[in-house]
Amino acid sequence: MRCPFCHNADSRVIDSREADEGATTRRRRSCPACGRRFTTVEEAVLAVVKRSGVSEPFNRAKVVAGVRRACQGRPVDEDQLQQLAQQVEDTIRASGVAEVPSNEVGLAILQPLRELDEVAYLRFASVYRAFTSVEDFEKEITELRERHHRGGTPPLPGLQLEPPVPRRRGGGRSAPAGT
Ligand SMILES: [Zn+2]
């Protein structure tokens, strides 16, 4: 590893320890030329395998770019996008695999995006899950509504579509606790 101070081509490892519960290794290095010390962090590359079979390193910026597109015109700021991308990375890393198919990255985006902004979620889901009809949207919106009824996030004024059929199960809030 090259010295960041004097750019000497070589450096010596003087200490090495695991961090982040073993996910990273930190090495303390010393430069034989200038004597200064610096730290490097080693971390396994998380690879994303595309449908074509090509793999590339997981890229948080790509997640942000994809989600940002879905969030156009929505009250979502840059910090929230960054946080979401971090959440996605954490979720994938927590699965403990070194390679994930790209569609699982999409899956890992859906849940935190639903918490963040439901309209952006619908947009993203419609592309990611390749919605082909109004019914696909209705089904998704019905699910969002049911989440609201279960006491999740409060209903959004933006979602005005009515579900296509009357709900079968129970009369609403007083339904017996089944599960
Ligand atoms: Zn040096």
Give the domain ranges of the chain. Answer: 12-43, 47-150
Residue 15 CA, ligand 1 centroid: distance in Å = 17
- Determine the distance separating the centroid of ligand 1 and the alpha carbon of 169, expressed in angstroms: 71
Number of Cβ within 10 Å of residue 30's Cβ equals 15
Which pLDDT does position 169 carry in this prediction? 52
- List C-alpha distances in Å: 57 to 63, 65, 86, 153: 12, 16, 15, 34
- Give distance in angstroms: CA of 13 to centre of ligand 1: 13
Report pTM.
0.63
Q: For 20-77, write each residue's pLDDT tens digit.
A: 777 789 999 999 999 999 999 998 888 999 989 999 999 999 999 999 999 999 999 9
Query: pLDDT for 120-166, tens place per residue?
Result: 999 999 988 888 888 988 999 998 988 888 765 554 444 444 444 44
Distance from residue 135's CA to the centre of ligand 1 (Å)? 64
Q: Ligand 1 centroid to 4 CA: how many Å?
A: 7
Half-sphere exposure of 171 (CA within 13 A, CB side): 1
Beta-carbon contacts of residue 133 (< 8 Å; ≥ 6 apart): none
